[in-house]
């Protein structure tokens, strides 16, 4: 597979990185959730091929125009990048605070916000990319099959769960809740876009939103709230999508219709809370064991490649099991024997600069041995930042420290740097494999594990030949 990128440019330090697995949020000292980063504009330009029109996913927003691009980060992770017009969000501090607020949220039913960029006049949001289109596409612009009734009920349940989570986390108002805000992930599961949790600023003081989808108590301009009038007194069969061709339960449809009517009541006290939505919709799920991708009519997600055919080394086995403790023991015992030949320094550099940076590395090694991973990160960072010596082992060790402190994105970057320093070093590939697994990029992780095993096997055969 090779290195993700042969030469890495300067990267902004992540606020904190972590795996996104499900509900709940781990919040760091900056108020943003683990897994949330401040990206540079250069990083996002690279990820989107300089904001190529070929990568545009959607455009919208009359009052606060924005464009959403598909992109790919250096670590090969797919992202969605929302780029606002230059007139939006004039106050960079306000934009950053709003982004960090939404960035606190982490849930498996959300397309989570993983970062932002605030560079000059540029204002951008970065979210997880959902590859299987929007609910609007599957409802109104389908090609092969309409969305079956059971899948529609699943969508309603999942979005109710996402809204309940947001409400409990202090984000009760979702802007512009509509079919374009519901996205489908690689497994075909519906997720709620995090972009709707972010206010759209026009002048730094007021916010734009689509009033048709806004609770009336949030409005002050006397808009005619007529959605309930549109369905009141109508027969359910008239309201149902004709493309279903009667393939739905009248009893279930009645429950959903009554629930929708309650949600559209003008007075807040007459509307159900989001927990009631989930409680009402959960018993209607009659195909709970059927994968979403089957009901959505999309191909089965790509299977993870098989493990390497040859027996794995101790390092390979530890990485395949994501056993960080075993990896730590191996890196401690290996010490710096793989760094030979990676540095050639002049006598002047040895006498004037080496003492301090070697002392920093020594402190890092002691902290690493004693599993004081935060101190090790600080000491190894001092060693790396000076730049006089370039050590793949230090990158590998700091990568493991990041894994122990729930920062897999940073761990992946260090493993990639180790490979750039030592392109055929199996340890660098193994560390990338572990970090990719922690990022739920299991196919790429398996590819990396295979390649690392092949490099080790090649090296062993070479040693035997000599």
132 or 447, greater pLDDT: 132
* Helix (H) or strand (E) run with residue 157 in it: helix 149-168
Q: Compute the distance between CA of residue 148 and CA of residue 419 in angstroms, rounded to an integer.
A: 48
pLDDT at 465 (0 to 100):
66
**Could you give the percent of the chain with pLDDT greater than 90?**
46
28 or 403, greater pLDDT: 403
Mean pLDDT of 32-37: 62
Other Cβ atoms less than 10 A from the Cβ of 433: the count is 28
**Domains along the sequence of the chain with CATH:** 37-128 (3.30.200.20), 133-217+224-296 (1.10.510.10), 314-339+348-465 (1.25.40.10)
Give the residue from 426, 427, 396, 430 showing the smallest Cα distance to 414: 396
Q: Rounded to the nearest 5 degrees, what angle is found at the Cα of 259, between the Cα atoms of 256 and 262? A: 155
pLDDT at 199 over 90: no
pLDDT at 401 over 50: yes
Q: Compute the distance between CA of residue 162 and CA of residue 245 in angstroms, rounded to an integer.
A: 30
Q: Which two three-digit tokens encode residue 262?
A: 């309650």
**Could you give the percent of the chain with pLDDT greater than 70?**
78
Mean pLDDT of 31-56: 84
- Give residue 239's pLDDT band: very low, low, confident or very high (50, 70, 90): confident
pLDDT at 191 (0 to 100):
97
Please say whether the beta carbons of 305 and 433 come within 8 A. no
User: How many residues does this entry show for the chain?
Assistant: 466
pLDDT at 121 over 50: yes
Strands 182-184 and 37-38: unpaired
Q: Rounded to the nearest 5 degrees, what angle is found at the Cα of 345, between the Cα atoms of 343 and 351? A: 135
pLDDT at 350 over 70: no
pLDDT at 40 over 50: yes
Mean pLDDT of 139-158: 91
Q: Rounded to the nearest 5 degrees, what angle is found at the Cα of 304, between the Cα atoms of 301 and 305? A: 135
pLDDT digits (tens, 9 = 90+) for 63-105: 556 899 999 887 678 899 999 877 778 888 999 999 999 999 9
311 or 82, greater pLDDT: 82
Average pLDDT, the chain: 81
Residue of 176, 189, 414, 447 with catalytic role: 176
Q: Which two three-digit tokens encode residue 324?
A: 């960080």
Mean pLDDT of 384-396: 87
289 or 459, greater pLDDT: 289
| Residue in the block written with tokens 């781990």 | 26
pLDDT at 356 over 70: yes
- Give residue 142's pLDDT band: very low, low, confident or very high (50, 70, 90): confident
To the query of whether residue 365 is one of the catalytic residues in this protein, the response is: no
306 or 370, greater pLDDT: 370
Helix ranges (H only) for 216-353 are 227-231, 236-239, 250-263, 274-281, 292-296, 314-320, 324-334, 347-352
pLDDT digits (tens, 9 = 90+) for 252-307: 999 999 998 888 888 888 889 889 999 999 999 999 999 999 999 888 876 545 54
pLDDT at 53 (0 to 100):
92
- Give residue 462's pLDDT band: very low, low, confident or very high (50, 70, 90): confident
- Give residue 62's pLDDT band: very low, low, confident or very high (50, 70, 90): low
CA distances from 27 to 11, 109, 166, 410 (A): 22, 19, 15, 17
154 or 197, greater pLDDT: 154
Range with the poorest average pLDDT among 19-23, 255-259, 403-407: 19-23
Burial of 95 (0-12, 13-18, 19+ CB in 10 A): buried
pLDDT digits (tens, 9 = 90+) for 153-191: 999 999 999 999 999 999 888 877 889 999 999 999 999
Mean pLDDT of 407-432: 92
């Amino acid at each position: 597979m090779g290195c993700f990128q042969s030469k890495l440019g300067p990267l902004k330090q992540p606020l904190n990185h972590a795996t996104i697995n499900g509900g709940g949020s781990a919040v760091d000292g900056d108020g943003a959730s683990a897994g949330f980063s401040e990206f540079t504009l250069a990083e996002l330009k690279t990820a989107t091929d300089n904001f190529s029109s070929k990568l545009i996913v959607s455009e919208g927003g009359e009052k606060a125009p924005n464009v959403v691009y598909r992109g790919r980060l250096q670590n090969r992770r797919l992202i969605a990048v929302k780029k606002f017009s230059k007139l939006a969000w004039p106050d960079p501090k306000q934009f950053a605070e709003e982004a960090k607020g939404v960035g606190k949220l982490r849930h498996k039913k959300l397309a989570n916000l993983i970062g932002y960029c605030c560079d000059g006049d540029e204002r951008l949001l970065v979210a997880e990319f959902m590859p299987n289109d929007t609910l609007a596409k599957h409802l109104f612009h389908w090609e092969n099959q309409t969305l079956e009734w059971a899948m529609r009920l699943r969508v309603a349940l999942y979005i109710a769960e996402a809204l309940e989570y947001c409400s409990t986390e202090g984000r009760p108002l979702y802007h512009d809740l509509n079919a374009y805000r519901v996205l489908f992930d690689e497994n075909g599961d519906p997720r709620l876009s995090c972009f709707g949790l972010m206010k759209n600023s026009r002048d730094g003081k007021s916010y734009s939103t689509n009033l048709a989808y806004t609770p009336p108590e949030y409005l002050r301009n006397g808009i005619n709230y007529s959605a309930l009038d549109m369905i009141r007194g109508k027969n359910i069969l008239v309201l149902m999508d004709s493309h279903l061709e009667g393939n739905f339960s009248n009893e279930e449809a009645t429950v959903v219709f009554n629930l929708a009517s309650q949600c559209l009541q003008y007075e807040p006290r007459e509307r159900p809370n989001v927990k009631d939505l989930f409680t009402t919709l959960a018993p209607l799920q009659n195909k709970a064991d059927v994968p979403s991708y089957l009901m959505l009519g999309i191909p089965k997600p790509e299977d993870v490649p098989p493990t390497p055919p040859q027996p794995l080394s101790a390092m390979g086995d530890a990485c395949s099991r994501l056993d960080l403790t075993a990896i730590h023991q191996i890196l401690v015992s290996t010490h710096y024997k793989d760094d030979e030949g990676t540095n050639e320094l002049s006598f002047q550099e040895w006498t004037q600069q080496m003492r301090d940076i070697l002392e920093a590395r020594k402190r890092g090694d002691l902290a690493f041995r004693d599993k004081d991973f935060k101190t090790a990160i600080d000491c190894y960072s001092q060693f790396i930042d000076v730049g006089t010596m370039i050590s793949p082992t230090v990158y590998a060790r700091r990568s493991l420290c990041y894994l122990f402190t729930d920062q897999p994105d940073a761990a992946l970057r260090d493993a990639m740097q180790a490979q750039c320093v030592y392109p055929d070093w199996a340890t660098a590939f193994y560390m990338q494999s572990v970090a990719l697994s922690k990022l739920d990029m299991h196919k790429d992780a398996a590819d990396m594990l295979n390649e690392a095993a092949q490099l080790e096997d090649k090296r062993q055969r070479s040693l035997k030949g000599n």
